[in-house]
Structure 1
């Protein structure tokens, strides 16, 4: 590959007044250099001073373009080292119609999954947990919080809550929560999920290795046993640059039942 600096400035020849703000033009040109492979993962960008001088624009303009690209995951900044093209990550396509565990999902994709435990303990149920799990104020819950990692890339933060009467010792869960629940006859068979956009706080952004202010996905899940009893209440934060959630939709037939795809 040619010198990264030369590759960047090859695309900067089109940074001319077109009505769009200069920082957006610069941002677009750097994105184009990355897309075309003129600069690749791990390549260092020239300093703000060099880019500003060679493109004949202000350092403020350069800084704004670079910050936008860092927020969108195209670039990464390392304190004391500079700005680099971010590593490419395979996006994980997750079906919303299947109720499976993270461990099972990653195993099907041939990815090496592991978890970093953040918390496993018994607590007094919060109002949200009492409402979701149908508990009284005197009942306790087991909370299991962990960072989910696949092929050494942090993908999600999962915070699950189970009634302590079902899971009296959360430390017994060493890998898959659903596997542990299956062993006691409490594996859920269906769930309702609510997906929303979220900007994780500083601590969660650091765990996910994304810049503060990055858009992520929050999924709140309530899972049920075959009897209809709620068994699990989980809030998870997924990296927006690593996950695609897919749902299959069907038109109802004339009798109101699900029909064939059209």
Structure 2
């Protein structure tokens, strides 16, 4: 309980910090005396706050509140290009293809995929960088029947919307969007450079060729919750 009390006290200080001071936290010794707990308990809390990206420690000087990052706005639908949205808000955006492989769906797969007559699916995973830091992991489960030569076009896959447009598809539609919160596993922590205390926002959606009513993909996007704010629908709709 002491750890929770100390953490709540420090998080309140961090959240109320307006950037007008130097942002230095009380020393570990002062905090230990204030809460009448061993210094090790204070140190454990400090480490957790560092893992959450809230503070930084400067050896021999103390612990300091990190400036709040500007949150990037993201629309929670599958019919808006992530890359285009990010490029409107930052000049320092990069998408890197991290996985491209073929899988076969089973009848028991719980994903909302309606690829008529086809169970061949390509997983296309991209890691999204904002200001040179990984911020989102984007997985598209793409209809393999529509794009049988997709492996030969890997250089185009950092933006799946541009890939579709290159294939003559211009009008997109999303029929469902589901939002949930998860904590990162080992792979996600490695890819997104985050610790287990940083929750991820999981957005699942689909993407259809609106003109021909054909499902193009099912999508899973994992967002670092400390980098984005979320909009429920496109402001143009």
TM range (shorter): 0.7 to 0.9
Structure 1 spans left out of the alignment, 5+ residues: 1-20, 250-262
Match of 1:132 in 2: 113
Distance 1:88 1:239 in 2: 14
How far is 1:238 from its partner? 0.6
Q: CA deviation at 1:73?
A: 3.3
Q: Which has the greater radius of gyration?
A: 1
Partner of 1:162: 142
Q: Which has the higher contact order (CA 8 A, sep 6+)?
A: 2
Structure 1 contact 52–58 (Cα < 8 Å) conserved: yes
Q: How many residues align?
A: 221
**Conservation of the 8 A alpha-carbon contact between 1:44 and 1:83:** yes
TM-score (norm 2): 0.76
- In structure 1, what is the Cα distance between the partners aligned to 2:56 and 2:86? 26
User: How far did residue 132 of structure 1 move?
Assistant: 0.3
Choose which of 71, 80, 89 in structure 2 pairs with 1:91: 71
Q: TM-score, normalised by structure 1?
A: 0.69
1:138-182 CA-to-partner distances (Å, cap 9, x unmatched) read: x42222112111221211101112122322224142432101101
What is the root-mean-square deviation of aligned Cα atoms in Å?
3.4
Aligned equivalent of 1:62, options 39, 42, 50? 42
Give the whole-Å Cα distance in 1 for the aligned partners of 2:137 and 2:85: 15
Match of 2:231 among 246, 255, 260: 246
Alignment partner, residue 26 of structure 1: 6
Contact 2:126–2:158 under 8 Å retained in 1: no
Q: Which runs of 5+ in 2 are unaligned?
A: none
Matched with 2:129 is 149
Q: What is the distance in 2 between the residues matched to 1:130 and 1:28?
A: 38
> Per the alignment, do residues 22 and 225 of structure 1 end up closer, same or farther by CA in structure 2, a change over 3 Å counting?
same
